[in-house]
A and B are shown apart, each in its own frame.
Chain A
Amino acid sequence: MSTTTLDRKSMRNSVGPGPAFHRVLNSEFIKFRTLLSTLILLASTALVMVGFAALSAWGTGQFAEQAARDPEAAAAIAAQGGDIAVTIPTSGIAFAQLILGSLGVLLMSSEFTTGMARSTFAAVPKRLSPFLAKLIVVMVSAFLLTAVSTFIAGLVSLPIVDNYDLKLDLSSSQSVKLLLVNSIYVAAVAAIGMALGTIVRNSAGGIMSLVGLFFVAPIAFQLIPGDFFVEARKYLPGNTINPMTAVEHVPDTLEVWQAALVLGAWVVVPVALAMVLLKKRDV
């Protein structure tokens, strides 16, 4: 017995691998895919994206048909290069960002509300490692899901727009740009959600702050009189997507690079704050 005791002690610190980042990443991915609620949220996002695209294809087709009888409207459409169908696949993006942003909140807030955080940070005491691993899992899955859903939504819309003699080319540079930029944008919203979940540590509070930032603030800023709020409204995270996807720069909106920087700042600042608080606070 005494020899085994000695062996144990001498074996200390060399008994096996520790929590290197790729292992923590694998652990966070296991946690991600073993929750039914996560899978339900992902599936509903895909469903909403595809469903809205189909509805939008039908509506756009109706509009184009009416326009065909009205020479002036037809001229307006023609002036846009017949590109009115190109935004159909991403028409559900407002809902995708809400669902996947909430998923970002939930994945972190549930660590604290369920007590799982104690297991997580007892296994990996360097807390930023699980945080960054989770952030990667959240952002990559939000990006991939949006990209794949957009593509499927496009495929589903094709026969519908075809029916109305509209042109939709999924491989056109504007289609590819819309798919990529919207997917990056949703990944950014999911990251903001996760940061909010880490800061408030509460599911309802985190989701409400997200909704406040993306849905309430733009409307509130519009209602409050004064030039400041008109100007400030452009810098809200939810208002960065349109300038980034526009074919040509629309007057009185941000330039593409400005919008990208503003969105980047909206990700970096909350994430940095979340990391500082996670490190400092007790679990």
Chain B
Amino acid sequence: MAEEAIKISGKKKSMFIDKVKQLLPDGGNLNLCLTCGACSSGCPATGLEGMDPRKFLRMAALGMDEELLKSEWAWMCTMCQRCIYVCPMKIDIPQLVFNVRGSRPRDERPKGILGSCNMALKHDTCSAMGASEEDFKFVVEDVAEEVRNTQVGWEELQAPVNKQGAMYFLNQNSREPVTEPDEMVPLWKILHLAGADWTYGTKGWAAENYCMFMADTESWKHIVEVKAKAVDDLGCKYWLNTE
């Protein structure tokens, strides 16, 4: 709980909450809060920075924009949406959080997220760890070759790259090709046994999208478009998540 009572200044300010309402279908129900606290009681971020979801929403409703934008709490809420799930009025607090994130000047957002987003914008791979098209293809082919040579019964194991017309375009979190490539092998074995018609693509293969977490909507959109185009260009039917 808060240590001090919230003080409301007399003058009504710009009201950040009104801007967000305009962006959301049905205003994100942001003015329907019954203050029941179901959101806060089941939120793992409750208490961090002396904040909780209900308080965050109430502060927005009271026009305390400056305090919301100054708090780090918007970066401690993971936008997991459990608060919406339990809310009797289905209030979209995570969207409010997302827009608070996006209201901070871009270069002042958390360095790690910013760096990962910027890195993903450098290559058409969309890799937040900066893996290039060549790096990815090399690692996949190298690891597959080693399995074929050393594991009995896996002489025919394939990890196709840029296979035109495959049913599934499999994405891959950068963590595997960059730091622990052997973790990809169980996945390939499963796909092999299932007889799945799948492929990786040198473009758009990276599963992660930090630009979304950073609330940089233009960059987020760019990344999604690059990935969608990669799937379409190979004529694949499904974008398949490994998770």
Do A and B make up one complex?
no
